Amino acid sequence: MPSDSLETAAESVRNAAGAASGDVAERLESQASQFERMAEADRDPDHGKLARHEHVLREIAEDAGGEVSDHVDDALESIRAFRETLEGV
């Protein structure tokens, strides 16, 4: 069953990629694809995997700023909402 929060995160990251260029856009496209796969997977990702992705996205947002950062912030909000549904940490 697809995760709406992770699908929303993937869409926000893809929007960030559209606002970026070069290496930043490529890194964001890669992140968006990974979130799409996680949203469709039979098993939910664990907290550790999501935390690593959050870290990467925060680094990209800090470096890029502007509209990219705004879209990444939206994605991070969706990721946090999803993590609240997971057991564990």
Q: Which of 21, 43, 37, 39 is nearest to 78 (CA)?
A: 39
Q: Whole-model pTM above 0.95?
A: no
Please give the Cα distance from 45 to 22 (Å, whole number). Answer: 28
Q: What are phi and psi of 27, to 5 degrees?
A: -65, -40
> What is the per-residue pLDDT across 43-89, written as a single tens digit (0 to 9) for each?
999 999 999 999 999 999 999 999 999 999 999 999 999 999 998 76
Task: Tally the domains of the chain.
Answer: 1
Q: Per the domain annotation, does 15 fall within a domain?
A: yes
Q: Per the domain annotation, does 24 fall within a domain?
A: yes
Q: Per the domain annotation, does 89 fall within a domain?
A: no
The token duo for 65 is 């700023």
DSSP 43-68: SPPPHHHHHHHHHHHHHHHHHH-HHH
Which residues are CB-contacts of 44 (< 8 A; sequence separation ≥ 6)? 3, 38, 86
Q: Per the domain annotation, does 68 fall within a domain?
A: yes
| Structural domain range at position 29 | 4-83
